[in-house]
Structures are given as structure tokens and as C-alpha cells.
Amino acid sequence: MSAHRVCHVNELADSKPHLVHLEGEDIVLVRRGDEVFAISDVCTHADISLSTGDVVGGEIECWLHGSRFDLRTGEPSGPPAWQPVPTYKTTVTADGTVAVSVA
């Protein structure tokens, strides 16, 4: 896995999805307090962008049909989605740089 620097942590509003493009993939970053999560931008139920959805607790919700995915694991919390969404490892350096590792 290679880590890519994508932004500074201060560019991420708390609990607001932020879309980045890495190695041909659309990835959503979500900051929750001191943690930053990275999850695929594509809902597994209807091929819809998750970056336009809302963050509710520790989940991101698809705006179209309401599927919710755990930010840590990508697992859906119930229908209509049943397939998980890929997640990616993130690190935040001492200077606040956010890096995402993709395969």
C-alpha cells in the first residue's frame, strides 16, 4: 500500500464529507473530532455518490435511499444496501497532513 497526502486536517469540516480523487478512485474523507476516515464514494446499493450524503453518528448516509455505512468498516447498517463499501487507512501527521493508503 502506498500513502498519498491529500489535504491538511484543517481543510476538513467536522462530520462533513470531503471528496478526493486517488489513483482513479473517488474517496470520501470524513473528520470526526481528531479522527479522519476514508471510504469509497460509491454506494453499493445504487451506485450513487456518498460524498453528497450526510454523516450521522459514525456512519455516512446515501442521500438517495438512506443506506448507511460504518465509517470504520464500510459495513452497511441495514437495507437497502447489503454489501460493504471499501474503506482505506488514514494517518494524520504531526503537522496535520492527512494521508490515505490505497492498494
Q: Where are the chain's structural domains?
A: 12-88
Average pLDDT, rounded, for the chain: 94
Q: What is the mean pLDDT of residues 17-24?
A: 94
| CA atoms of 20 and 41, how far apart (whole Å) | 9
Q: Classify 12-88 by CATH class.
A: mainly beta
pLDDT in tens, 28-59: 999 999 999 999 999 999 999 999 999 999 99
pTM of the model: 0.93
72 neighbors 87 (Cβ within 8 angstroms)? yes
Q: In what order do the strands lie in the sheet with 97-102?
A: 2-8, 97-102, 87-92, 35-40, 25-32, 18-22
How many CB atoms are located within 10 Å of the residue 67 CB?
26
Confidence of residue 2 (pLDDT cuts 50, 70, 90): confident
Confidence of residue 1 (pLDDT cuts 50, 70, 90): low
Residue (of 79, 70, 78, 62) closest to 38 by Cα position: 70
Q: In what order do the strands lie in the sheet with 54-56?
A: 54-56, 59-61, 68-70
